[in-house]
Amino acid sequence: MDQSDNVLIIGSGVAGMEASLMLSKAGKKVTLVEKLSLIGGKTIKNEETYPNMDCSTCLVAPIQQEILQDGNINVLTSSLVEEVKGDAGDFTVTINKKAGYVDLVACLGCGMCYPVCPVELINEWEENLTNKKAIYVPCAGALPNVPVINAEKCLQLNGTETCNKCVEACMFGAINMIEKDEKVEVNVGAILVATGYDMLDVSTINNLGYGKYPGVYTAMEFERLFAANGPTEGELVMRDGEKVPSSVAIVHCVGRAQTHYCSNVCCMASSKHAHFLHHKLPEAKIYNIYSDICLPDKTYQKFHEDVKAHSSKFIYQADRDKMKISEEKGNLKVEYLDNNNKDAFIQVDMVILANALVPAIGSDDLGKAMGLNHDKFGFIEAQPFRIGSVATSKSGIFVAGCAEGPKDIQNSVIQSEAAVAQIMSLLNT
Ligand SMILES: Cc1cc2nc3c(=O)[nH]c(=O)nc-3n(C[C@H](O)[C@H](O)[C@H](O)COP(=O)(O)OP(=O)(O)OC[C@H]3O[C@@H](n4cnc5c(N)ncnc54)[C@H](O)[C@@H]3O)c2cc1C
Ligand code: SF4
Ligand code: SF4
């Protein structure tokens, strides 16, 4: 068997980025595969991160830059792992790198190509809160700051019209319409799965009015509303682009009956939202409606207590499945069972649903392609018989961060550092 010293990391969130840099510093060659056109994972959707309300961009951008400039790390964006063959020490991995039609080196990120594009699309990365063109970067400040073209929607690439507007607008000749998808094969000794999470689709939950009433938002939509590089440039206005909410209800544990687990980060994210709202809109009435409070770190209780004392009224609901949201005279009516099991309600302008974290879309197929076990919730299973392990059911393949289950940034990074230690121990013996 040919023992390879190289490592494949799948997913470029905080877990994948931390492991990539540590392994590179230890002299390993890393291939970092990311399905999107930008690296950074969900953390770059946050304006600020609890518990210290640090600026997320200030935390993550230097790491993203370091990764993109590191000669030991080959970053493959818009890419998916297709096939994994072999065993620990000697895996052969086939990766499908989707054509982006813009040269990563020639493009200066000047943005001249987007405004001229006639195609308007919904921007899913921005939680559908704004539009993008067929040639786009998902958000301002994306890294790499190089656009990609949606080949199915581009008029030239899908053959519906003879549009060439973006090519003509680019003064640097960076757009290459004849680029093709590419198969990349790598030989690695170990693999780290760091594919993170997605959010539960709350439109599937009855009675909460998501998708029906414009004033109802998900937690990630609210993250983008308060982001300076988000769809409203950080202005706290509702979907009509004008109304500033004067009362907000933040509902904890949304989808817990569906997932059957506590999502670990939502109570703190909800406290963060209350804190932010209070600072941005000091006159607004803010309510956190909860049935359970999860504060899994020694610093979190203080943050939560400060929010409770200064920013938000906390309301206990006895049965989260009995909540009903409706619209009445232009306001949202939030009905719930109070601590005496009696019907109660509040009326607000805005509702933020703290929806559950679920396994990343596609992680089922990815796990199967690699021969990994999933736990009963669908996350990649770490070896259950080893306490605190990040080893999976297949030797040589490790898991870290939210790919293993919901957790905060700190614990995602701790797991990825543990995975690096196990990878080093495997490759250096
Ligand atoms: C509303 C909200 C607010 C939060 N706020 C905070 C906070 O303030 N502080 C805090 O500590 N934590 C916070 N968190 C938790 C934080 O988002 C996670 O801890 C962190 O993102 C986990 O990082 P990760 O690398 O495991 O996963 P992710 O950030 O999800 O990154 C995974 C990456 O893998 C990529 N990927 C997925 N599947 C594939 C595939 N098949 N192939 C290739 N790439 C793939 C994804 O595109 C993504 O880039 C919050 C969570 C939510 C929901
Ligand atoms: S060629 Fe395609 S991407 Fe470029 S401007 Fe036209 S429609 Fe947009
Ligand atoms: S493709 Fe050209 S026009 Fe578009 S951002 Fe890059 S350099 Fe600017």
Q: Please name which ligand lies nearest the alpha carbon of 370.
A: 1
Which of 105, 108, 175, 179 has most ligand 3 atoms within 8 Å of its beta carbon, as the pocket-test mutant?
108
- Would the CB of 148 count as within 6 Å of ligand 2? no
Task: Identify whether 93 is part of a domain.
Answer: yes
Residue 332 has pLDDT above 70, yes or no: yes
Is 188 in the same domain as 54?
yes
Is 240 in the same domain as 191?
no
Task: Report pLDDT digits (tens) over 175-215.
Answer: 999 999 999 999 999 999 999 999 999 999 989 999 999 99
Q: What is the pLDDT, as a whole number, of residue 269?
A: 98
- Would the CB of 102 count as within 6 Å of ligand 3? yes
Q: What tokens were used for 18?
A: 């931390």
Mean pLDDT of 3-9: 94
Is 269 in the same domain as 347?
yes
Task: Identify whether 400 is part of a domain.
Answer: yes
- Cα separation, 19 vs 17, in Å, equals 5
User: Of the given ranges (2-11, 126-135, 401-410), which has the lowest mean pLDDT?
Assistant: 2-11
Distance 306 CA to ligand 3 centre (A): 46
Q: What is the pLDDT, as a whole number, of residue 324?
A: 97
Residue nearest to atom 6 of ligand 2 (CA): 163
Residue 280 has pLDDT above 60, yes or no: yes
- Would the CB of 358 count as within 6 Å of ligand 1? no
Task: Report pLDDT digits (tens) over 52-70.
Answer: 999 999 999 999 999 999 9
Strand pairing of 90-97 and 79-87?
antiparallel
Residue 341 has pLDDT above 60, yes or no: yes
Is 345 in the same domain as 219?
yes
**CA dist 252 to 84, 221, 288, Å?**
39, 15, 7
Distance 56 CA to ligand 1 centre (A): 13
Task: Identify whether 91 is part of a domain.
Answer: yes
Is 91 in the same domain as 190?
yes
Is 210 in the same domain as 264?
yes
The CATH number for 15's domain is 3.50.50.60
3-state helix, strand, coil in the chain (%, to 5): 25, 25, 45
Task: Tell if the pTM clears 0.95, that is, is over it.
Answer: yes
Distance 139 CA to ligand 3 centre (A): 15
Task: Identify whether 11 is part of a domain.
Answer: yes
Which domain-ending residue is among 338, 356, 374? 356
Distance 187 CA to ligand 3 centre (A): 33
- Would the CB of 109 count as within 6 Å of ligand 3? yes
Distance 242 CA to ligand 2 centre (A): 31
- Cα separation, 160 vs 145, in Å, equals 28
Is 288 in the same domain as 415?
no
Average model confidence (pLDDT) for the chain?
Answer: 96
Q: How many domains does the chain have?
A: 3
Residue nearest to atom 4 of ligand 3 (CA): 113
DSSP state letter for 319: -
Q: What tokens were used for 210?
A: 């998501």
Q: Please name which ligand lies nearest the alpha carbon of 135.
A: 2
**Domain housing 267:** 201-356
Which domain-ending residue is among 319, 334, 356? 356
Q: What is the pLDDT, as a whole number, of residue 429?
A: 75
Question: Largest alpha-carbon pair distance within the chain?
Answer: 72
Residue 352 has pLDDT above 70, yes or no: yes
